[in-house]
Amino acid sequence: MHKVKLNILGLSVSQSQSGAYALVLAEENGDRRIPIIIGPIEAQSIAIQLEGLKPPRPLTHDLFKQMASAFDINISEVIIYKLEEGIFYSELVCIKDGNQLIIDSRTSDAVALALRFGSPIYTTEEILERAGIVIEFENEQNQEEWNRPASEEQPRGKKHEYGKYTSAELSEMLTSAINDEDYERASAIRDEINRRRKE
């Protein structure tokens, strides 16, 4: 099986399914993209890891990572190995004491765990041929926006919403948003803090 490495391009609200999100994975050395529809809980888990936010209590995927680490189990890679009736199937390739174990997983969970373990994500050339799409851009600016890593994206309409607050106020608001588990708001506040640091 020829494996093709994928990178996480971003998350967006699904246009086809209400309340769902589209996780976009990009071929590392190519132009093809794979959009995968996932639920809001998994999208939140992926988003807060991409944003580098720390929830006050561990989420399910954080708990899985802690449990695996406690028993010296590592996820060496994630493989999206099958596409059937619009559903992507994935496997976690786990290593324990030098032995390899394959565990079946939903793709959304596999990606959330890959982020936490720092594991690469792969798929097959066959799946890329079937599900991969190539985005045609009208100009370079649109292409740059599409190719921007998910961690650099800012929610629309919130770019400088927090510009009127002091740095100390923003820090308090960030802590409050994380404690309230309002990660979208926390992400926007964090973006404003980072923007100021770069100025």
Per-residue pLDDT of the chain (199 residues; tens, 9 = 90+): 689 999 998 888 777 677 788 899 999 988 899 999 998 889 989 988 988 888 888 889 999 999 999 999 999 999 999 999 889 999 999 999 999 999 999 999 999 999 999 999 999 999 999 988 886 544 444 444 444 444 444 443 444 577 788 888 888 887 787 777 676 777 778 777 777 777 6
Element (H, E) at 77: strand 73-84
Considering the entire predicted model, what is its pTM? 0.71
Domains and CATH numbers, the chain: 3-150 (3.10.690.10), 154-198 (no CATH)
The span from the CA of 42 to the CA of 59, in Å, is 10
Helical ranges in the chain per DSSP H:
40-51, 60-70, 107-117, 125-131, 140-147, 167-179, 183-198
